[in-house]
């Protein structure tokens, strides 16, 4: 009996161990699964963070590229072989010009294991300087009784067709008046000042207005100052002095002319036929003189380099009533005694009357418009005073880009791209670590704008006009006061400059 | 009794300076002229001494010489005329200054209506150089346009035309610069001009407002704000002038100023509401947000745009110009400020490091109301843990509120170098001054 029990016990020996072993293996397997799951979740989380960071690195690349374009660079930053370092990641941007003049910017951002590629389409353009409307680089004063608004010339034409008075009914409500300083708008009980549109002072400027002033728009200050481009005066051979005193009209035929001085005597008449580019040292219209701009066949551009004096009662008439066809560029800036009487004369005096259809651009001169003058077009000056009861109607057609204004980049579209087939992207390792191992320099984005063969025409800090060609990176921007034109290899301008 | 009063009056009369005649005699003019040209090598001070020695009897002549030498219209009319040198002009002015009671009496006598305009303008120029706060009344009388032409008719149109003709651009500039210089020279002038504002001629009031606003100080904003609502014709000009002054002063401003300006948001005139909407933004008046949000739906486009600009400026946020979005945001912020914030502020100073850091981060995420929030957040600067103090400095730099300057200055002497560095950074962000994180440098800069 005892022997049977002992045999049974011996047969059962080790079964608990087996069960324990099975449980242990089961728990170990479960633990391994959990560990695997946890590691996987952690990796996914890390990947998600890296992905997000890569996305924002690519965004930063686009921003840097746009900034580069706005200061005259190509928009290319780094390359797939030599990207720029940004934070814990790297980026590169390629700028591709399309046939219609737009620019596609493709930015790639890599951070840890994250990869992102984005693209935007931008359009680079320079506004018309006349699009500034009524603008003063310094303070602007609007005297009592003035009216400032804008008009659409096409609507004006329609209004004329239906028998309304010229201009009546065609005025819109987006008059443009602004400055880089303060704007003072005066009004009087019997001379109410009316501004239809926004009045935009400088960044730290304000609009001072009083009772009897009506402003239909906002008076919010601008977010960034406006830089007035300098005038590019054409190089022409002087034909000496032109003085016209006779009562009969004198006609200057179409073409290009330069005079040291041009004087139209009292009640005399001068006709300038367009297309015309005229450069004059000093331009004097004596009392009652009449300057007729015949713009029926083309525009008339008059550059006054030293002195402008439009006497009382003088008239500037534009035959086509189209301010886009009559430009008065005044680069005069010195207040000096010109007639030897001991009293210094301002570089620009405008006492003309009637209606003037023109754009006046005098970035270096203080300008005071005579009382009662009516301007259709745009006026820009270093500082500007609009005389009492003056009327300024901004021509909305001047908003069209003619390439004379400051550079601007307009964003047209944005999209996320498929990742390109590039070794650095395909290898899912930290790009910074990899590139460091390879000995890459990893410059910052602002130092990674790509070198491009380019030509630049600019006004130097000494006031001289200079043309420079070479590798963009070697160009000394500290010598530039303002840029006239830039052309890069592949641009149409590159060959012209 | 009558005898005593009589003696007293006699003594007072004797104590007062002899009323100077405003018309100098030929002999007096000659004496001054001779004194001026006696020694060409003399300095302005020496020359002034010689002139002053002539005595009060020659003061009108000294003033007349100085007046004609500084008359721009006269100089422009005859540019070839050789005038007095700068040294001589300075000497004349110094000589006038040495007889304070006499020159004040002289200028007072020039306020009479029959005194010619160029002479009164000369007196205004003199005040521009030497006038102080208590000369404000004389200045306003001297510059009064209606007294410049005593022959003004009773007809309002004629009066206005004559006043305009007499109050030329040059005269306006002289008056404005005179007021500005007096305000610059003597801070008490703000109060004087504020008190005497409605004593001034109606034509002078806008000029006075402009001159005060050109100073761009808190005192200027205060004076202009006190004038709000007293003359409806001037409210719009006052509001834009307040905006001009406030643009050059860092907020926050006093409660009185904020309330006075904010009250104009409910004005009837759309022009006034538009400008007020902009000015509350310049003042960064957080309490105005409630009134600004409904203005996003105002019928006037200018009001809507100005209100939107101010909302962005006060809150530091860039939501779209949508009334509902701003209203929803404001509601959330107000609830947080009312229900959650007080407890956080109470715990900030005493909480242990992890909790205190969390509180600082919670507060740093908010912007409403910015300046009071910065005041409360500054409690973290006195926390015992240096990491809490450091993080508080970083958060205060983001708030850019001048209310934190005092606390940050204290942190420049903190035992921890990290706290000192961050306090310096925050001070640079708040004040815009690029100074090192050294207390003495900031003390020297007037902080």
| B150 pLDDT above the threshold of 50 | no
B301 in reach of chain A (CB within 8 A): yes
Position A416 scores a pLDDT of 92
H/E segment holding residue A255: strand A255-264
Q: Is B305 on the interface with A (CB under 8 A)?
A: yes
pLDDT reading at A126 higher than 70: no
How many Cβ atoms sit within 10 Å of the Cβ of residue B10?
Answer: 10
Chain A interface disruption, residue of B237, B281, B318, most A CBs within 10 A: B237
Residue of higher predicted confidence among B64 and A473: B64
Is there a contact between A220 and B278 if contact means CB atoms under 8 Å apart? Answer: yes
By the 10 Å C-beta count (0-12 exposed, 13-18 middle, 19+ buried), A243 is classed as: middle
Could you tell me which chain A residue has the CA closest to the CA of B246? A206
pLDDT class for B365, splitting at 50, 70, 90? confident
Query: What pLDDT was estimated at residue A73?
Result: 75
> Residue B278 — pLDDT band, cuts 50, 70, 90?
very high
Environment class of A35 (CB within 10 Å of its CB; exposed 0-12, middle 13-18, buried 19+): exposed
Token pair for A128: 């018309």
pLDDT value for A101:
75
Position B11 confidence tier, pLDDT thresholds 50, 70, 90? very low
Of the given ranges (A61-65, B10-14, B91-95, B239-243), which has the lowest mean pLDDT?
A: B10-14
**Quick check: A86 pLDDT over 70?**
yes
Nearest-neighbour CA in chain B from A187: distance (Å):
11
Q: What is the reported pLDDT for A171?
A: 45
Identify the pLDDT of residue A110. Answer: 94
> Is residue B420 pLDDT above 90, yes or no?
yes
- A217 and B305 in contact by Cβ < 8 A? yes
Suggest the residue from B205, B236, B321 to mutate for an interface test with chain A (most A CBs closer than 10 A): B236
CB-CB neighbors (< 8 A) of A194 in chain B: none
How confident is the model at residue A224, as a pLDDT? Answer: 80
Task: Determine contact: B271 vs chain A, CB below 8 A.
Answer: yes
B34: Cα within 13 Å, side-chain hemisphere: 8
Residues in B closer than 8 angstroms to A387, CB to CB, are none
Q: How confident is the model at residue B146 (pLDDT cuts 50, 70, 90)?
A: low
- Is A14 exposed, middle or buried, given 0-12, 13-18 or 19+ CB atoms closer than 10 A? exposed
Element (H, E) at A473: none
With contact defined as beta carbons under 8 Å apart, do B201 and B145 qualify?
yes
- Of B150 and B70, the structure prediction assigns the larger pLDDT to B70
What integer pLDDT is reported at residue A306 of this predicted model? 92
Q: Is the pLDDT of residue B21 over 60?
A: no
Judged by CB atoms closer than 8 Å, whether chains meet at B271 and A213 is answered as yes
Distance CA B190, CA B136 (A): 10
Condensed to tens digits (0 to 9), the pLDDT of residues A285-308 reads 999 999 999 999 999 999 999 999
Helices B86-97/B100-109 angle, 10° precision: 100
Q: Are A256 and A275 in contact (CB under 8 A)?
A: no
Task: Quote the mean pLDDT of chain B.
Answer: 86
Residue A327 confidence (pLDDT):
93
DSSP string, B139-153: HHHHT-HHHH-TT--
| Nearest neighbour of A215 by CB, restricted to B210, B244, B302 | B302
Q: Is A183 in contact with A177 (CB distance < 8 Å)?
A: yes
Q: How far is B29 from B69, CA to CA, in rounded Å?
A: 13
Contact B218, B249 (CB under 8 A): yes
Domain coordinates in residue numbering, chain B: 338-444
Q: How far is it, in rounded angstroms, from Cα A259 to Cα B50?
A: 58
Question: For A256-282, how does the pLDDT look when each residue is reduced to its tens digit (9 = 90+)?
Answer: 999 999 999 999 999 999 899 999 999
Q: What is the pLDDT of residue A450?
A: 75
**CB contact (8 A) between residue B237 and residue A207:** no
pLDDT confidence tier of residue B17, bands split at 50, 70 and 90? very low
Q: Which stretch of DSSP H or E encloses residue A388?
A: none
Is the confidence at residue B248, as pLDDT, over 70? yes
Given an 8 Å threshold on Cβ–Cβ distance, is A213 in contact with B275? no
Does the complex come out with an ipTM higher than 0.90?
Answer: no
Tell me whether residues B274 and A219 touch, CB distance under 8 A: yes
Chain centroid to Cα B414, Å, comes to 36
Residue A218 and residue B233: Cβ atoms within 8 Å? no
Task: Report whether pLDDT(B8) > 60.
Answer: no
Q: Is B236–A210 a contact, with Cβ atoms under 8 angstroms apart?
A: yes
Alpha helices in A71-212 (DSSP H): 153-161
State the pLDDT at residue A375: 92
Contacts of A208 in chain B (CB under 8 A): 210, 213, 237, 240-241, 244
Tell whether B237 lies on the interface with A, counting CB pairs under 8 A. yes
State the pLDDT at residue A2. 54
- Quick one: closest CA in A to B240, which residue? A208
Domain made up of A1-127+406-448: CATH architecture: 2-Layer Sandwich (3.30)
Cα distance between residue A486 and residue A480, in whole Å: 12
Per-residue pLDDT at A175: 57
pLDDT above 60: residue B436 = yes
Contacts of A222 in chain B (CB under 8 A): none
Task: Please indicate whether, in this complex, the C-beta atoms of B302 and A206 are within 8 angstroms of each other.
Answer: no
Q: Count the neighbouring beta carbons within 10 Å of the beta carbon of residue A472.
A: 20
Q: Which residue has the higher pLDDT, B323 or A462?
A: B323
> CA of A203: which chain B residue's CA is closest?
B247
What does the alpha-carbon distance between residue A308 and residue A301 come to, in Å, rounded to a whole number? 15
Q: Could you tell me how far CA B424 lies from the centroid of its own chain?
A: 30
User: Closest Cα of chain B to A182: distance in Å?
Assistant: 9
* Predicted pLDDT of residue B246: 92
Q: B262: pLDDT confidence band, cut at 50, 70 and 90? A: very high
- The DSSP secondary-structure symbol of A325 reads G
Q: Do A218 and B305 touch (CB under 8 A)?
A: yes
- Which of A38-75 are b and which e, b meaning 16 or more Cβ less than 10 Å from the residue's Cβ? eeeeeeeeeeeebbebbbbbbbbbbebbbebbeebbbb
Average of per-residue pLDDT across B279-304: 94
pLDDT at B349 over 70: yes
A-chain residues near B77 (CB < 8 A): none
Give span(s): CATH 3.30.1300.30, chain A: 1-127+406-448
Please determine, for residue B159, whether its predicted confidence score (pLDDT) is greater than 80: no
Q: Are the beta carbons of A208 and B210 separated by less than 8 Å?
A: yes
User: What residues in chain A have their Cβ under 8 A from chain B's Cβ atoms?
Assistant: 182, 198, 204-211, 213-220, 341-343
Identify all chain B residues contacting A214, using CB atoms and an 8 Å cutoff.
271
Nearest to B302 among A182, A218, A343 (CB): A218
Percent above pLDDT 70 for chain A: 87
d(C-alpha A210, C-alpha A192), whole Å: 10
Q: What average pLDDT does the segment A391-398 reach?
A: 86
| CA end-to-end distance (rounded Å), chain A | 119
The residues, any chain, with a CB within 8 Å of residue B19's CB and separated by 6 or more, are: B105, B109
* Inter-chain CB proximity B302 and A198 less than 8 Å: yes
Q: How far does B276 lie from chain A, in Å, by closest CA?
A: 11
In chain A, residues with a C-beta closer than 8 Å to the C-beta of B243 are 206
Helix, strand and coil in chain B, % to nearest 5: 75, 0, 25
Probe site for chain B from A139, A204, A206 (most B CB atoms < 10 A): A206
- Which residue in chain A has the smallest CA separation from B308? A220
Report the C-alpha gap between B113 and B399 in whole angstroms. Answer: 56
Q: Which among A205, A211, A220 is the nearest to B306, CB-wise?
A: A220
Average pLDDT over residues A51-62: 94
Tally A–B CB contacts below 8 A. Answer: 67
Cβ-defined contact of B248 to A198 (cutoff 8 Å): no
Query: From start to end of A265-325, where are the E strands?
Result: 269-273, 276-285, 290-294, 300-310, 315-318
**pLDDT at residue B77 in the model:** 67
Partner-chain contact A208 B79, CB within 8 Å: no
What's the gap in Å between the CA of B350 and the closest CA on chain A?
A: 35
Q: Which residues of B touch A174 (CB under 8 A)?
A: none
**pLDDT for the residue numbered B155:** 47
List the single residue in A with minimal CA-CA distance to B312. Answer: A220
How many angstroms separate the Cα of A341 from the Cα of each of A232, A333, B79, B335? 32, 20, 8, 74
Is residue B154 over pLDDT 50? no
**A204–B302 CB contact, under 8 Å:** no
**What's the mean pLDDT in A439-463?**
79
Check if B248 contacts A (Cβ < 8 Å).
yes
pLDDT above 80 (res B122):
yes
Which residues, 6 or more positions from B3, have their beta carbon under 8 angstroms from its beta carbon?
Answer: none
Q: Looking at beta carbons, which residues of chain B come within 8 Å of A204?
A: 247-248
Provide, rounded to the nearest whole percent, the portion of chain B with pLDDT above 90: 60
How many CB atoms are located within 10 Å of the residue A164 CB?
13
Section B1-22 average pLDDT: 46
Q: Specify whether the CB–CB gap between B226 and B191 falls below 8 A.
A: no
Tens of pLDDT, residue by residue over A395-409, are 888 776 555 555 567
Which chain A residue shows the shortest CA-CA distance from B243?
A: A206
- Binned at pLDDT 50, 70 and 90, residue A15 comes out as confident
Cα–Cα nearest to A210, from B266, B257, B205, B126: B205
For residue A283, the SS3 value is strand
Give the residue-averaged pLDDT of B274-283: 96
Using 50, 70 and 90 to split pLDDT, how confident is the model at A440?
Answer: confident
B-chain residues within 8 Å CB-CB of A211? 232-234, 236-237
Q: Which of A45-59, B36-50, B387-401 has the lowest mean pLDDT?
A: B36-50
Nearest CB neighbour to A182, from listed B244, B301, B302? B244
Which residues of B are less than 8 Å from A342 in CB distance? 79-80
Contact A219 B206 (CB under 8 A): no
A156-160, B191-195, B231-235, B351-355 — which is least confidently predicted? A156-160
CB contact under 8 A, A209 and B240: yes
Distances (CA, A) of B165 to A146, B4, B141, B161, B396: 20, 52, 18, 6, 55
Inter-chain residue contact A211 with B233, CB threshold 8 Å: yes
């Amino acid at each position: 009996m005892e022997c049977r029990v002992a045999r049974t016990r011996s047969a059962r020996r080790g079964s608990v161990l087996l069960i324990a072993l099975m449980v242990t293996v089961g728990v170990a397997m479960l633990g391994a699964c959990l560990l695997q799951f946890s590691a996987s979740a952690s990796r996914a989380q890390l990947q998600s963070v890296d992905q997000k960071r890569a996305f924002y690195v690519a965004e930063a690349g686009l921003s840097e590229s746009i900034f580069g374009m706005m200061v005259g660079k190509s928009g290319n930053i780094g390359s797939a072989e030599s990207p720029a370092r940004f934070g814990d990641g790297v980026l590169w941007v390629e700028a591709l010009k399309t046939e219609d003049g737009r620019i596609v910017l493709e930015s790639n951002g890599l951070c840890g294991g994250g990869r992102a590629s984005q693209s935007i389409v931008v359009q680079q353009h320079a506004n018309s300087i006349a699009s500034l409307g009524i603008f003063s680089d310094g303070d602007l004063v609007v005297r009592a009784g003035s009216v400032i608004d804008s008009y659409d010339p096409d609507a004006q034409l329609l209004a004329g067709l239906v028998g309304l008075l010229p201009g009546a009914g065609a005025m819109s409500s987006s008059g443009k008046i602004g400055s880089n300083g303060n704007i003072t708008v005066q009004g009087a009980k019997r001379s109410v000042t009316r501004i239809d549109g926004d009045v935009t002072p400088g960044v730290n400027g304000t609009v001072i207005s009083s009772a009897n002033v009506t402003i239909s728009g906002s008076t919010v200050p601008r977010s960034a100052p406006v830089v007035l481009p300098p005038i590019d005066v054409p190089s022409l051979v002087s034909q000496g002095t032109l003085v016209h005193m006779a009562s009969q009209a004198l006609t200057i035929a179409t073409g290009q002319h330069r005079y040291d001085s041009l004087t139209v005597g009292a009640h005399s008449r001068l006709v300038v036929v367009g297309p015309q580019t005229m450069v004059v040292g000093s331009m004097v219209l004596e009392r009652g003189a009449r300057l007729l701009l015949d713009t029926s066949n083309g525009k008339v551009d008059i550059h006054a380099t030293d002195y402008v004096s439009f006497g009382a009662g003088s008239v500037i008439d534009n035959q086509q009533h189209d301010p886009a066809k009559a430009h008065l560029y005044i680069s005069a800036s010195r207040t000096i005694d010109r007639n030897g009487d001991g009293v210094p004369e301002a570089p620009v005096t405008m006492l003309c009357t009637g209606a003037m259809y023109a754009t006046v651009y005098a970035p270096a001169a203080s300008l005071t418009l005579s009382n009662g003058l009516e301007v259709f077009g745009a006026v820009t000056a270093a500082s500007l005073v609009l005389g009492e009861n003056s009327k300024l109607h901004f021509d909305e057609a001047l908003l069209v880009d003619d390439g004379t204004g400051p550079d601007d980049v307009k964003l047209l579209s944005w999209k996320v791209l498929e990742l390109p087939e590039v070794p650095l992207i395909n290898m899912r390792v930290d790009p910074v670590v990899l590139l460091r191992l390879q000995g890459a320099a990893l410059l910052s984005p602002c130092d990674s704008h790509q070198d491009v063969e380019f030509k630049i025409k600019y006004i130097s800090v000494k006031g001289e006009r200079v043309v420079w060609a070479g590798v963009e990176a070697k160009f000394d921007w500290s010598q530039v006061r303002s840029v006239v034109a830039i052309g890069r290899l592949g641009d149409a301008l590159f060959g012209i400059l | 009794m009558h005898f005593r009063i009589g003696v007293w009056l006699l003594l007072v009369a004797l104590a007062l300076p002899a009323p100077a005649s405003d018309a100098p005699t030929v002999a007096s003019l000659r004496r001054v002229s001779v004194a001026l040209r006696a020694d060409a090598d003399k300095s302005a001070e020496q020359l002034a001494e010689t002139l002053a020695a002539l005595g009060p009897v020659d003061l009108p002549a000294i003033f007349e010489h100085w007046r004609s030498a500084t008359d721009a219209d006269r100089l422009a009319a005859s540019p070839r005329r050789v005038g007095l040198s700068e040294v001589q002009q300075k000497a004349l002015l110094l000589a006038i200054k040495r007889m304070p009671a006499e020159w004040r009496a002289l200028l007072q006598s020039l306020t009479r209506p029959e005194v010619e305009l160029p002479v009164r303008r000369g007196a205004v120029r003199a005040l521009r150089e030497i006038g102080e706060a208590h000369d404000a009344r004389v200045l306003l009388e001297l510059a009064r346009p209606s007294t410049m032409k005593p022959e003004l008719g009773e007809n309002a149109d004629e009066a206005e035309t004559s006043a305009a003709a007499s109050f030329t651009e040059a005269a306006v500039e002289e008056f404005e610069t005179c007021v500005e210089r007096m305000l610059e020279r003597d801070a008490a002038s703000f109060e004087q001009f504020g008190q005497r504002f409605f004593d001034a001629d109606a034509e002078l009031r806008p000029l006075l407002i402009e001159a005060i606003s050109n100073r761009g100080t808190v005192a200027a904003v205060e004076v202009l704000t006190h004038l709000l609502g007293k003359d409806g014709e001037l409210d719009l000009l006052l509001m834009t002038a307040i905006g001009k002054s406030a643009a050059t002063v860092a907020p926050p401003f006093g409660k009185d100023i904020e309330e006075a300006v904010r009250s104009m948001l409910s004005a009837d005139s759309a022009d006034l509401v538009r400008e007020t909407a902009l000015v509350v933004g310049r003042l960064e008046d957080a309490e105005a947000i409630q009134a600004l949000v409904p203005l996003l739906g105002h019928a006037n486009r200018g009001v809507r745009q100005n209100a939107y600009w101010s909302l962005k400026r006060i809150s530091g946020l860039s939501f779209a110009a949508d009334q509902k979005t701003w209203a929803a945001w404001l509601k959330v912020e107000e609830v947080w400020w009312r229900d959650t914030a007080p407890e956080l502020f109470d715990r900030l100073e005493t909480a242990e490091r992890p909790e205190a850091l969390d509180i600082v981060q919670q507060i740093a995420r908010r912007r409403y109301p910015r300046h009071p929030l910065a005041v409360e957040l500054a409690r973290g600067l006195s926390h015992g843990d240096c990491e809490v103090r450091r993080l508080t400095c970083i958060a205060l730099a983001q708030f850019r509120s001048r209310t934190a300057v005092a606390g940050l200055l204290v942190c420049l002497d903190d035992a921890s170098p990290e706290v000192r560095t961050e306090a310096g950074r925050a001070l640079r962000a708040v004040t815009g001054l690029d100074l090192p994180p050294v207390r003495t440098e900031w003390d020297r800069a007037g902080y």
